[in-house]
Chains A and B, each alone.
Chain A
Amino acid sequence: MGGQQYLRQFLADRWALAGAGTVIAFLLIALLAPVLTALSGQDPYTYHLDALDDTGRPLGFGGGISTEHWFGVEPLTGRDLFAIVVHGARTSLLVGLAATTIAVVIGVVVGITAGFFGGWYDRLLSRVIDVLYGFPFLVLMIALGAIVSARFPRTWLVIIVIGAFGWPTIARVVRGQTLSLKSRTFVMASTAMGAGSVQVLTRQILPHLSVTIIVYTTILIPGLITTEAALSFLGVGVPAPTPSWGRSIGEGIGWVQTDPMFLIFPGAALFLITLAFNLVGDGLRDVLDPRKGAAVR
């Protein structure tokens, strides 16, 4: 199948297409966050105590929704919720995509070298992957945040920690594919013609892995976005006042009854972006991996 046919097949999948549209919309929102908040005349940091009653609960309908505050305001501080959600998209995507990049780089390097070189090196790495697979990461991530020096920028710490633990799936898949590619004639021919290991890996094997890498990267992104949200929800992720959907949801615990809208907006944003990436990932897998596609649909 050629690239065009893949594209046509992907475009025929309505759900995947809707997912792709949503992802693009969120990317635009994240990029244009300052413009959007300038339009609404708000920012995610300014307190609006006049929008709250004595208990810190937003005044008015739906958590203080008004022409000024499109999504209402945050309880206790009165910060503009629309601005928080829109800027939260930046945090979410920055952390999610940066962590995914780290995870994919580690995963591909580990997987491709383990599959290609084999022997004790492969056995060792495969064992490491097995162990990491079932490891209770969340526990370790929470603890790591506490012992790393407070001077280290927290957002980058979150990115590095999530990325450093996100690679086993990709490594396992890439290793499997490399193993089967290794015995194909074009690889053997290249080796016979005197190509070195590095050259065979980067020129012959890596291009054939690109499809797999793309699919698994897309599937990984939503998982890592929710990991950031989970850490921030628990209060050990991206630090205040940087807007984060997860932290807003966490702070919403105490307001579920009195101000549910404070939970709904960031929650819906998080759900939508995760769902969108999952739909795109599923669609890509169906198109690019026909055997699996047949089993799923």
Chain B
Amino acid sequence: MRTARFLAGRLAGMVVVLVVISLVTYALFLLLPSDPAQMSCGRPCTPENLAIASEFMGFDQPWWRQYLEFVAGIFQGRSFGSGPAAVHCSAPCFGYSFQLNQPVTQLIWARIPVTFSIAVGAAVLWLVLGVALGVLAAVRQGTLVDRSAMAFAVAGVSAPVYLLGLLGILLFGFTLDMVPVSGYVPFSESPLDWLWHLVLPWCVLALFTSAVYARLTRGQMIEALEEDYVRTARAKGLSEPKVIGRHALRNVLIPVVTVFGSDVGQLLGGAIITERVFSMPGLGSLLLSAVGQGDLPLLLGVVLFAAFLVVLANFAVDVVYGLLDPRVAQTQR
């Protein structure tokens, strides 16, 4: 019962956040001076043509009307224009790119596997690497292992993903010729090639952020090792790996999971940069080409989609967190 209430509360909170984010983004994009109809009106653009284009795309409406139609489109799809020229965008419709003549959802969908492959693999690597390194540094506090781990952490924080990526390409791609330097192969085509193309991007993206997690884990671990329950566990005669793995680590992971939740957005940004370094056709290249073309519906669709994704991921982290740590669910109304 309590868990159900907790879940319902979080779900309601998520919906509110989604509505606010989309409303603000929509207002921001449509209130700033830009004219998507103008851009795709063609030359010479007569005022009549412009009016027709604007009406067809729905940009002649006040921004809040457009927003409501956008939201309706997500749930039931929508049509632009009427008669034989009308285009249909089926649910969930995140808008329609008039320059590419395709629904935004379809465009995003085609790119998602690339960005997801990069982001998910990197996230796994960074959590595992970061936590392992942090624990190691905490246990061997003050030794050479600790100091090198922390030096690695500071250096890692300061090295931008794209710089690491290009150096990685130079070293492992060109000089040692171990991994491919660019491109993406779908998993369905060849799992091995998929993996092979992703190894370097994962390492590059994870190295950077794992350093942050190593520092966080180390600090938390050092504090945890001074707690009473750890002393009790040791007094019971448990071996040190068991004390750390079963008792201390569990408590250390809670703040790590929290930080991970707020880093999902950053992960997405990192994946976009990584895509560019390795010339992979993901969400980032879709977004950048939309910038180049001034494709407003596509820009709006990608931004909102990314925001929704992050909010959803945060919700998932929240729920996992609440279920793992019973105290959280209890203190929620």
Residues of A within 8 A of B (CB): 131, 133-140, 142-149, 222, 226, 229-230, 233-236, 249-250, 252-253, 256-257, 260, 263, 267, 270-271, 274-275, 278-279, 282, 295-296
Contact = CB atoms under 8 A, between A and B. Distances in A.
Centre residue among A131, A148, A249, A252 by max chain B CB count within 10 A: A131
17 contacts: A131-B20, A134-B263, A136-B265, A136-B269, A136-B307, A136-B309, A138-B272, A140-B303, A142-B272, A144-B32, A146-B290, A148-B32, A256-B166, A256-B170, A263-B170, A274-B159, A275-B154
B115 to A, nearest CB: 11
Interface stretch (B47-55, B83-91, B241-249, B291-299): B291-299
B169 A256 contact: yes
A271 B265 contact: no
Contacts of B120: none
Nearest to A294: B222
Interface SS of A by simple majority: helix
A250 B162 contact: yes
A230 B273 contact: yes
Interface in B1-49: 17, 20-21, 25, 28-29, 32-34
B124 interface: no
Contact of A296 (B219, B261, B265): B219
Nearest to A149: B33
Given A139-B302, A263-B170, A275-B154, A270 B163 contact: yes
A207 to B, nearest CB: 29
B173 to A, nearest CB: 8
A145 B291 contact: yes
Contacts of A147: 29, 32, 34, 294, 296, 299
* Size bracket, chain B contacts: 35 or more
B276 interface: yes
B268 A139 contact: yes
A126 to B, nearest CB: 13
Nearest to A277: B158
Contact of B306 (A136, A145, A236, A267): A136
B288 A134 contact: no
Contacts of A230: 160-162, 269, 273
B215 interface: yes
